[in-house]
Amino acid sequence: MTAENGTRTSTDATRQGGITGLGVIIGTTDTDALIAWYRAALEPLGARWVEHMLLVGPGAVIGFDQRDDVAEKAAEPGRQLVNLTVRDIRAAEKHLNTLGVTWVRPVEEVGGGWFFSTIVDPVGNYLQILQGPEAS
């Protein structure tokens, strides 16, 4: 379907396939160390290392890019948040605690069956771990 201004509507895009995935690329000065941390943190939660990235869900990946134009630590870690939804946030919390993660926001129920939490990766980026209601 096309709007009066000639742009396609979301219904039209959905019919033609629309968006089928999402990827996040994390720039770092030390990809080996960051990849090792993300694999240790997320593979036990169900992520899979595929070629050169972590597959974290259907059509969702986290990639890593060695860069010389970024600082060793994120200057504004809250500017973007990587969100991961899990089936059992308490199991995820227990696993992440074995890695000694820093919790910016401990696991808390926020209403409607949703739980939110935020941890910091080794370079200062925020990673949110969420659990939705069972029906979602």
Residue 37 lies in a domain: yes
Containing domain of residue 57, as a range?
A: 19-131
Q: What is the pLDDT of residues 50-91, one digit of tens each?
A: 989 999 999 999 999 999 999 999 999 899 899 999 999 999
Place of tokens 């039209």: 12
Residue 108 is assigned to a structural domain of this protein = yes
How does pLDDT run across 81-121, given as a tens digit for each residue? 999 999 999 999 999 999 999 999 999 999 999 999 999 99
Neighbours of 103 (CB within 10 A): 14
CA atoms within 13 A of residue 35's CA, in its CB half-sphere: 17
Answer whether residue 75 is part of any domain. yes
| CATH classification of the domain holding 73 | 3.10.180.10
User: Does residue 6 fall inside a structural domain?
Assistant: no
Q: In the predicted model, what is the mean pLDDT of residues 28-55?
A: 96
Mean pLDDT of 20-24: 93
